[in-house]
C-alpha cells in the first residue's frame, strides 16, 4: 500500500513536485503518466528513500519514508529508469549481490534467485557479464533485482523502454500478474501501456496531478461530449448546414464528400449521460431519427472514444495555458 499526501519536492529552488496526493492499494497497478519533467521520477525517488520530501508525507505500508527509510526500502522493489547494473559482474553475481543486500539466506535465497531468473527469462544468460547483455536482457535483469525478495511494493520507472514489441508484451504480462498480489507503481509516457496494465492512472503535469482515476473513467470525465463518426448517403445532396438539424448536435469537426452521394462527417454531440456505454447510445439514436426524417441513409456510425493520447494532450496543454 502506498499513500502520498501533499507531497512536495524541490531541488535547489526548482519545485519538481508541487503538492501531489494519491493512494494505491495492494493488488493494483497504478500508472503515473506525464511528459518528461512532470515529476514522475521524483515521486518514485521519494517513495524509495533516495530523496527525502521537502513537504508532505509519503507512506509505504503505513511507514513514513523520511522517518524509517530502511524499513521502507525492505518492502520496496525498485527499478530505476536508468536500470543501474554493475557492468563488470555476471548476471548471477549481480543477483547474488541483490540477495545479499536483501539478507536472503539458505534455501530461501536459492529459491528467490531461481524464481526471479525464471520469471524474467534470464536462464541462459546467468553466466554472462552484464556489459555483454542486450538492452532487453539488462532491463529484465533490473526487474529481476526488483522482484527478487518478493516485495509487497514494486516501483518501476518506465519498465518497458528500450524493449522490442515481443519483450514489451512479456514484461507487461509479468507486471500484470505481479499486480494481482502487490502494489505496483509504474511510470510511463506510453499511453497504451496504461490502458494495457494499469488499474488506475494519475496524469501528472508540471509537478501536479492533472487527472486521476481508472483509465476508462478519465476518458469519460474528460469527454464531456460524445463524438460520432458518420458516413451518410444522401441521393439528393447534403451540406454541412443540414447537419445542424441533428438534435443535440454540438459541433461538426469535419465534413467532406467521399464520392457520389456519400459524405463523411465527424460530429460532437451533447453528452448523453449514463447511457454512454460501449455502443452508440442516445446520441446515435438522434442521428438515426434525423436521417430517416431527412431521407438520408446512415451507412456507418461509429462512436469515437477519446484516446488517452488526446486526453493527455488536452490536459497538458490546459496546464500550460494557465
Please report, as ranges, the residues that interact with another protein according to CB under 8 A: 11-12, 45, 48-52, 70, 73-74, 76, 78, 80, 82-90, 93, 97-98, 100-103, 129, 145
Residue 192: name the closest of 48, 31, 301 by CA.
31
User: Minimum distance from CB of 52 to another protein (Å)?
Assistant: 5
Rounded to the nearest 10 degrees, what angle do helices 215-223 and 308-321 cross at?
60
Closer to another protein by CB, 75 or 208: give it. Answer: 75
85 close to 109: Cβ distance less than 8 angstroms: no
Closer to another protein by CB, 128 or 176: give it. Answer: 128
User: Minimum distance from CB of 71 to another protein (Å)?
Assistant: 8
Closer to another protein by CB, 6 or 88: give it. Answer: 88
User: Minimum distance from CB of 89 to another protein (Å)?
Assistant: 6
**C-alpha span between 9 and 247 (Å, rounded):** 50
80 close to 185: Cβ distance less than 8 angstroms: no
User: Minimum distance from CB of 211 to another protein (Å)?
Assistant: 28
User: Minimum distance from CB of 10 to another protein (Å)?
Assistant: 9
Closer to another protein by CB, 100 or 217: give it. Answer: 100
Closer to another protein by CB, 100 or 318: give it. Answer: 100
Cross-strand pairs, 254: 266
N-to-C CA span, the chain: 33
Burial class (CB in 10 A: 0-12, 13-18, 19+), 19: middle
Q: Rg for the chain (alpha carbons), in Å?
A: 25
Amino acid at each position: 500500500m502506498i499513500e502520498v499526501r501533499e507531497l512536495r519536492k524541490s531541488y535547489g529552488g526548482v519545485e519538481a513536485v508541487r503538492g501531489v496526493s494519491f493512494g494505491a492499494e495492494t493488488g493494483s497497478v497504478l500508472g503515473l503518466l506525464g511528459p518528461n519533467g512532470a515529476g514522475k521520477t521524483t515521486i518514485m525517488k521519494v517513495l524509495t528513500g533516495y530523496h527525502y520530501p521537502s513537504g508532505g508525507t509519503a507512506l509505504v505500508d503505513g511507514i513514513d519514508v523520511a522517518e524509517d527509510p530502511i524499513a521502507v526500502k525492505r518492502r520496496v522493489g525498485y527499478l530505476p529508469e536508468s536500470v543501474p547494473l554493475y557492468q563488470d559482474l555476471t548476471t548471477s553475481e549481480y543477483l547474488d549481490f541483490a540477495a545479499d543486500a536483501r539478507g536472503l539466506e539458505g534455501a530461501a535465497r536459492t529459491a528467490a534467485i531461481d524464481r526471479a531468473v525464471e520469471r524474467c527469462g534470464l536462464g541462459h544468460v546467468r553466466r554472462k557479464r552484464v556489459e555483454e547483455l542486450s538492452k532487453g536482457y539488462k532491463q529484465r535483469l533490473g526487474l529481476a533485482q526488483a522482484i527478487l525478495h518478493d516485495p509487497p511494493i514494486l516501483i518501476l520507472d518506465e519498465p518497458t523502454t528500450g524493449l522490442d514489441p515481443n519483450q514489451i508484451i512479456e514484461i507487461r504480462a509479468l507486471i500484470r500478474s505481479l499486480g494481482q498480489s502487490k502494489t505496483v507503481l509504474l511510470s510511463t509516457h506510453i499511453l497504451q501501456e496504461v490502458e494495457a496494465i494499469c488499474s488506475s492512472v494519475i496524469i501528472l503535469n508540471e509537478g501536479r496531478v492533472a487527472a486521476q482515476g481508472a483509465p476508462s473513467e478519465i476518458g469519460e470525465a474528460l469527454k464531456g461530449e460524445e463524438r460520432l463518426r458518420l458516413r451518410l448517403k444522401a441521393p439528393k445532396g447534403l451540406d454541412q448546414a443540414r447537419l445542424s438539424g441533428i438534435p443535440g448536435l454540438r459541433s461538426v469537426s469535419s465534413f467532406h464528400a467521399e464520392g457520389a452521394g456519400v459524405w463523411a462527417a465527424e460530429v460532437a454531440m451533447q453528452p448523453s449521460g449514463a447511457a454512454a456505454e460501449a455502443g452508440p447510445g442516445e446520441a446515435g439514436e438522434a442521428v438515426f431519427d434525423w436521417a430517416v426524417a431527412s431521407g438520408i441513409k446512415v451507412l456507418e456510425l461509429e462512436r469515437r472514444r477519446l484516446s488517452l493520447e488526446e486526453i493527455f494532450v488536452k490536459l497538458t496543454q490546459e496546464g500550460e495555458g494557465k
